[in-house]
Structure 1
Amino acid sequence: MSRKDRDDAIIRDILVRVGESENVNQRTLAKELGIALGMTNSYVKRCVRKGLIKISEIPPNRYAYYLTPQGFTEKTRLTAEYLSDSLTFFRRARVQYNEIFMQCTAAGWRHLALAGDGELAEIAILSAREHDVVLQGVVAPGRAGETCLGLSVVKALSALDRPDAAILTALNEPQAIYDGLIGELQPLRVLVPSILGVTRSLEALPSSNR
């Protein structure tokens, strides 16, 4: 994610939350956005300078945050842009997972594992139904014992029946999960869609790309 994309995402989230309630404060915003209080203060000041938010003091020593008309317009624009980008991202994901399943079929890897739960795992599961592959389960330690579109979620790859390959489907910390997988499987058998931006092991790359 570029610096501009990150800035837009934080400003969008601030505008959305202020639009939902006047009773927000910077500490609450920082917690909900998952960023430091000082950074939250900086972004709120930026919104004020841009005329997106108005701050009014209310007793005792408290502040109410309001969206200005310009703030409503900007919130709508950023939200629409986010949704458009998200749709583009997930369309690309569907195409790339289809390509990965075709690669697995060509290599004779039929029994597969997914690494990472959430929206990407669901897209991969739906894509897999169009191919002659068997998904053994989803590896997601925080959700072990649950299911994802009917697939069992397990704590570790070792809980599955020796899958032929693993496919990365984690949006959060994909590099760390990939690095863990190549310690359990041959790097060539850990497949990653390019949309995740993971740096792959040299052993997983075609010789022409090394």
Structure 2
Amino acid sequence: MNTKADREEQRMLELLEAVGKQSNVSQRRLASNMGIALGLANSYLKRCIRKGFIKISEAPANRYLYYLTPKGFTEKSRLTALYLSTSFAFYRRAGDSCVNVFNKCEERGWQRILLCGMSDLAEIATLRAQEQDVHIVGILDPHTERRRFAGVSVWRSLQQADAYDGCVLTELNSPLLSYEQLLKEVDKERILIPDILRLE
């Protein structure tokens, strides 16, 4: 799903896209845009230069200009195609996983479902729920300030949430930890886990 290799390729793509858009981008700006530490951004930049994807030239005032080479444009295209292919594959797998879990909800007579974790999976779940006989009452996520996501309410605690019949875990970043936290407040029988999370 979101392996180390996937993250590496995604960061390389982000770097190549940023340099392709703006040649005078600073390493600090690159790091900020990519959401990584400055040293890590520098490491990725050096790797791209070593592989011949980016050319560097010095500019006035101790600044550097970065340019994509023809090889860099080719790599950016390859990574973009790979990212789109992986994204669509994830969307299909996640959608099927949500349908399976919603079928279980229907078997149990659950109509009002609370999603636990604001993520791409939660967004896919809200879309696929429209095809099923279930209603997403909202999303529980203690780590966000957002009040709405994917067209539904977001709550930071169960006490704020609307009434629900059962919970579906949709946290992607740390699903096991979120599940363990949820178990402290909700009976195990009221929680379903999509198989794409691979916790069961």
RMSD after superposition: 1.9
Fraction of identical pairs, as percent? 46
Tell me which residue corresponds to 1:20. 21
Which amino acid in structure 1 is aligned with residue 131 of structure 2? E
Cα deviations across residues 86-127 of structure 1 (Å, max 9, x unaligned)? Answer: 001011111010000101111222221012234322321222
Tell me which residue corresponds to 2:11. 10
For these two proteins, the number of residue pairs brought into alignment is: 198
Q: CA deviation at 1:144?
A: 4.7
Distance between the aligned counterparts of 2:114 and 2:194, measured in 1?
A: 14
Q: Do residues 168 (structure 1) and 169 (structure 2) align?
A: yes
Distance between the aligned counterparts of 1:47 and 1:155, measured in 2?
A: 41
Cα deviations across residues 110-164 of structure 1 (Å, max 9, x unaligned)? Answer: 2210122343223212222222223222223424533532x22222222234422
Tell me which residue corresponds to 2:147. 145
The gaps in structure 2 that reach 5 residues or longer are: none
Tell me which residue corresponds to 1:188. 189
Tell me which residue corresponds to 2:49. 48
Tell me which residue corresponds to 2:85. 84
Change (3 A) 1:147 1:78: closer
Change (3 A) 1:145 1:8: closer
* Contact residue 146 and residue 154 of structure 2 kept, 8 A: yes
* Contact residue 115 and residue 169 of structure 2 kept, 8 A: yes
Q: Do residues 61 (structure 1) and 62 (structure 2) align?
A: yes
Change (3 A) 1:73 1:147: closer
* SS of 1:23 mapped into structure 2: coil
The gaps in structure 1 that reach 5 residues or longer are: 201-210
* SS of 2:46 mapped into structure 1: helix
Distance between the aligned counterparts of 2:54 and 2:150, measured in 1?
A: 40
* Contact residue 138 and residue 148 of structure 1 kept, 8 A: no
Distance between the aligned counterparts of 2:154 and 2:165, measured in 1?
A: 18
Superposition TM-score, scaled by structure 1 size: 0.85
Change (3 A) 1:33 1:138: same
